[in-house]
């Protein structure tokens, strides 16, 4: 589809986008706060995790979403579903013949509990990587 500036309707397919995850990756650390930043919404700490979740000693890149996943809230379920949907990399690696020895990935080499933490432009990086592997598979 064409962008509005190019004479199109301005609609974009969201099949290969993760806007909900992008929002949560930005919002959840701010809601919880950190040792350097006061939480925006302290009463949500039991659901999204407290300040200590994002401390370097806690290794947040591997477990920062654990508390919200364990909470059972609808937002956590949606987050897990969108993470699963974004893991199209396995199919792309398979088509490129790289499944046996996949290249390293700053986005996809993390567990679901830490995916996206402190990675700038997660959506762009993830889907650029997927598209690159798909191109190699053609």
Dump the DSSP string for 88-111: THHHHHHHHT-SSSPPP-TTTTS-
H or E element: which one contains 77?
helix 74-86
In this prediction, residues 108-113 reach a mean pLDDT of: 86
| 3-state helix/strand/coil string of 113-131 | CCCCCCCCCHHHHHHHHHH
Asked whether residue 115 carries a pLDDT value surpassing 80, the answer given is yes
Phi, psi dihedral angles at 51 (to 5 degrees): -55, -40
Count other C-beta atoms under 10 Å from residue 74's C-beta.
8
In this prediction, residues 79-88 reach a mean pLDDT of: 84
**Residue 108 in contact with residue 89, Cβ under 8 Å?**
yes
| Confidence bin at 129 (pLDDT 50/70/90) | confident
Q: Which of 34-38, 44-48, 73-77, 100-104 has the lowest mean pLDDT?
A: 34-38
Count other C-beta atoms under 10 Å from residue 44's C-beta.
17
Domain spans, the chain = 17-137
């Amino acid at each position: 589809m064409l962008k509005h500036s190019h004479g199109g309707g301005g609609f974009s397919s969201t099949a290969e986008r993760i806007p909900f995850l992008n929002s949560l990756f930005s919002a959840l650390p701010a809601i919880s706060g950190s040792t350097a930043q006061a939480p925006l919404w302290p009463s949500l700490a039991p659901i999204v995790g407290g300040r200590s979740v994002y401390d370097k000693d806690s290794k947040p890149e591997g477990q920062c979403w654990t508390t919200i996943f364990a909470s059972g809230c609808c937002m956590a379920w949606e987050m897990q579903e969108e993470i699963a949907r974004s893991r199209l990399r396995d199919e792309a690696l398979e088509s490129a013949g790289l499944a046996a020895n996949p290249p390293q990935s700053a986005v996809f080499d993390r567990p679901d509990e830490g995916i996206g933490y402190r990675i700038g432009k997660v959506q762009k990086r993830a889907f650029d990587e997927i598209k690159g592997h798909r191109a190699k598979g053609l």
